[in-house]
Amino acid sequence: MTSDAANVAGLSETYSGTINPYSDRDELERLWQQPIRLFRLSNFLRQKSGRDAVSFVVNRNINFTNKCTGTCRFCSFKQRESYFLSSEQILSRAAEAEAQGATEICLQGGLAPEMKLEDYCGMLETIHRDHPKLHLHAFSPMEVMHMSRNSGVSIRQALQELKRSGLGSLPGTAAEILVDRVREQICPDKLKSRQWREIITAAHSLGIPTTSTMLFGHVESLEDRLEHLSILREIQSETGGFTEMVLLPFIPENNALGKSVSGADLLEKLKMHALARVALYPHITNIQASWTKLGRDAAAAAGTARGWRRSWQAAAPRRARWRRRTAPRGC
Ligand code: SF4
């Protein structure tokens, strides 16, 4: 199947089984060069996945510290003048969030050298004790590695302790691009691709779901992006533990990498969302369009659904309140 007409007319038959005929790299590279065909196919798969209505979570990010030993060149979060939020400050932010309708707290921060596993567990327990209904989405694989090293425990033990303390799910951040050659250029001190995969699969095996993410639009090639997507697809077919795919376009402001790289333009961002949907189908069908990174209009276009517009309009009052609070920060 190569022509547009065949794509539109025959897609239902093409996708009648569970095998995705477009998941091989050559076909994905061809689709990348043919945006109209790519968008049609992606939209077809979105409809086929029953995603005509788009869902969202009202959450609040609490970035408990910006102190970090990391050296990621794309980072705009780490600062020389660092802060730590106290338990009272964390609790008051959680309380404010819940009072305004949030159902989830996302906890992430820098890699502060003095932080041990018990500090991370303590934050979860403090929130969970006073706000048991809030889902706690917390700590990237890099943070899990950091706390397990600092406390001299295994990754598995660290995850078990976090779960006991109220952890609901793990952000799949710190993935960036899961190709070590690229990681050497943009985040040389971060965990390697294999380690990210080990921590994510350990979480899944313990019943801790995670998101999957990709930071794109910097030094990586299309081939690197396809390798990244194929790793995510493999993990999901083994564990089923990913809740969604979150595409994070690189933002060039206020970081070292942005001095030499300008980031993806709008068309490339939309193409990347479409390509991820095609490449990950049917393993991951929930593709997140991050409005805090894309902006309102681009996020609506990336969602590509009438239902998205309805959800967007219905959520307007709450969205205004959360506008400055939902951009993911930290590791
Ligand atoms: S991305 Fe995370 S680990 Fe890297 S420097 Fe920033 S806060 Fe530190």
Q: Model confidence over 107-158: pLDDT tens digits?
A: 999 999 999 999 999 999 999 999 999 999 999 999 999 999 999 999 999 9
Structural domain includes residue 329: no
- At residue 103, what is the residue type? T
In a domain, 9, yes or no: no
CA–centroid distance, 246 to ligand 1, in Å, is 18
Q: Please check whether residue 295 lies inside any domain of the structure.
A: yes
Contact status, residue 50 vs residue 301, Cβ threshold 8 Å: no
What is residue 242's predicted lDDT score, i.e. its pLDDT? 98
pLDDT at position 315 is 43
Structural domain tally of the chain? Answer: 1
Residue 240 in domain: yes
pLDDT at 21: 72
Q: What is the CATH number of the domain that holds 63?
A: 3.20.20.70
Q: How far is the CA of 8 from the centre of ligand 1 (A)?
A: 43
Position 316 scores a pLDDT of: 42
As a whole number of angstroms, the distance between CA 99 and CA 312 comes to: 21
Report phi then psi at 204, rounded to 5. -60, -40
Question: In this predicted model, which residue has the larger pLDDT, 327 or 29?
Answer: 29
Q: What is the pLDDT of residue 234?
A: 97
Ligand 1 pocket test target in 66, 68, 69, 195 with most atoms within 8 Å of CB: 68
DSSP string covering 134-189: SEEEE--HHHHHHHHHHHT--HHHHHHHHHHTT--BB---S-S-S-HHHHHHH-TT
CA of 68 relative to ligand 1 center, distance in Å: 6
Q: Which long-range contacts (CB under 8 A, 24 or more apart) does 183-189 make?
A: 185/73, 185/219, 186/72, 186/73, 186/74, 186/218, 186/219, 186/257, 187/70, 187/71, 187/72, 187/73, 187/74, 188/71, 189/69, 189/70, 189/71, 189/72
Distance 162 CA to ligand 1 centre (A): 21
Instruction: Please count the other Cβ atoms lying within 10 Å of the Cβ belonging to residue 310.
Output: 13
DSSP annotation string for 104-122: EEEEE----TT--HHHHHH
CB 32 within 8 A of CB 222: yes
Q: Measure the CA–CA gap between 315 and 309, rounded to whole angstroms.
A: 10
- From ligand 1's centre to the CA of 209, what distance in Å? 22
pLDDT at 23: 76
Whether residue 309 has pLDDT greater than 60: no
Atom of ligand 1 nearest to the CA of 140: 2
| pLDDT interval class at 326 (50, 70, 90) | very low
Give the model confidence (pLDDT) of 240-292 as tens digits: 999 999 999 999 999 999 999 999 999 999 999 999 999 999 999 999 988 88
User: Is residue 43 domain-resident?
Assistant: yes
Q: Quote the domain boundaries for residue 217.
A: 21-322
Residues framing ligand 1 (Cβ under 6 A): 68, 70, 72, 75, 77-78, 110-111, 142, 330-331
Contact 204, 172 (CB under 8 A): no
pLDDT, mean over the chain: 88
pLDDT of residue 305: 40
In a domain, 136, yes or no: yes
Nearest atom, ligand 1, residue 187 CA: 4
Residue that wins the pLDDT comparison between 49 and 34: 34
311 vs 52, higher pLDDT: 52
How remote is the CA of residue 187 from the centroid of ligand 1, in Å? 9
Give 13's contacts (C-beta < 8 A, 6+ positions apart): none
Q: Please report the pLDDT score of residue 321 as a whole number.
A: 34
Residue 303 has pLDDT above 80, yes or no: no
CA pair distance 240, 208, nearest whole angstrom: 11
Place of tokens 């930290």: 330
User: Range with the lowest mean pLDDT among 91-100, 171-180, 215-224, 320-329?
Assistant: 320-329
The whole-number pLDDT of residue 13 equals 62
Q: How far is the CA of 107 from the centre of ligand 1 (A)?
A: 14
Neighbours of 111 (CB within 10 A): 23
Question: Ligand 1 test: best mutation among 67, 71, 72, most atoms within 8 Å of CB?
Answer: 72
The residue contributing the CA closest to ligand 1 atom 5 is 70
Read off the pLDDT of each residue in 173-201 and give the average, rounded to a whole number: 98
pLDDT, tens digit (0-9, with 9 covering 90-100), for 135-147: 999 999 999 999 9
- Name which residue sits closest to atom 8 of ligand 1, judged by CA: 70
Distance CA 148, CA 157 (A): 8
What single DSSP character describes residue 311?
Answer: H
Q: Which atom of ligand 1 is nearest to the CA of 330?
A: 7
Ligand 1 centroid, distance to 142 Cα (angstroms): 9
pLDDT of residue 135: 98
Strands 104-108 and 287-288: unpaired
Asked whether residue 198 carries a pLDDT value surpassing 60, the answer given is: yes
Residue 33 domain flag: yes
pLDDT digits (tens, 9 = 90+) for 207-232: 999 999 999 999 999 999 999 999 99
Is 327 contained in some domain?
A: no
Query: Using CA positions, which residue lies closest to atom 2 of ligand 1?
Result: 331
Strand partners, 136: 105
